[in-house]
Amino acid sequence: MAELQRRAVTAALVAERGDLLVVSGLGSATWDLAAAGDSDQNFYLWGAMGGAAMMGLGLALAQPKRPVLVLTGDGEMLMGLGSLANMAIAAPANLSVVVLDNQRFGETGMQKSHTAYDVDLAAMAKAAGIAECLSLTEMSAVELLARRISKRNCCLFAVVRVAAEEPPRVLPPRDAVVLKNRFRTALGLACS
């Protein structure tokens, strides 16, 4: 079985995004999302390691009529495991968390992460109480997932196994005020 390319996975997830709001985690998830096309509906977390899932949860609760996707890596999800219990309890139907699992800590030198040693993030999410937990290894399954995300019918957690690669970085804007203001504008909120 060939491993999936994370840029192709990310592009498939946002290809027909409509009103989808996306929170991307530190590093590779942010670069992959920017490579798929910068958008005012993307909220890039530049330095909030472990915070993407909780940020997405808050956004899903605040914007229940909009689908919310958290796109993060295995290293960041491992750091934010406590968020799984909060997602399970709140269970917003419009929240989907997709973990791009390359079994590496990409930001610190590509050392093996815990998932390389059989730590199963989808099983952990299921044990926390998230109703819909998936482990995906095929692009056709990713394409089906992309369609499900926009339907907003249940809180969903998916781990997608991707190759341990380091494509060239595509850097989105880094100015936090600019990112905040354009995202608020995309939500129809006033900028402060």
Least confident of 160-164, 165-169, 174-178: 165-169
What tens digit of pLDDT does each residue of 130-158 get? Answer: 999 999 999 999 999 999 998 877 899 99
Distance CA 118, CA 40 (A): 37
> Quick one: CATH architecture of 6-186?
3-Layer(aba) Sandwich (3.40)
Domain boundaries of the chain, sorted by first residue: 6-186
Tokens of 82: 């406590």
Average predicted confidence (pLDDT) for the chain: 89
3-state helix, strand, coil in the chain (%, to 5): 40, 20, 40
Q: What is the pTM of this model?
A: 0.92
- Tallying the residues shown for the chain, one arrives at 192
* pLDDT tens digits along 20-35: 999 999 888 999 999 9
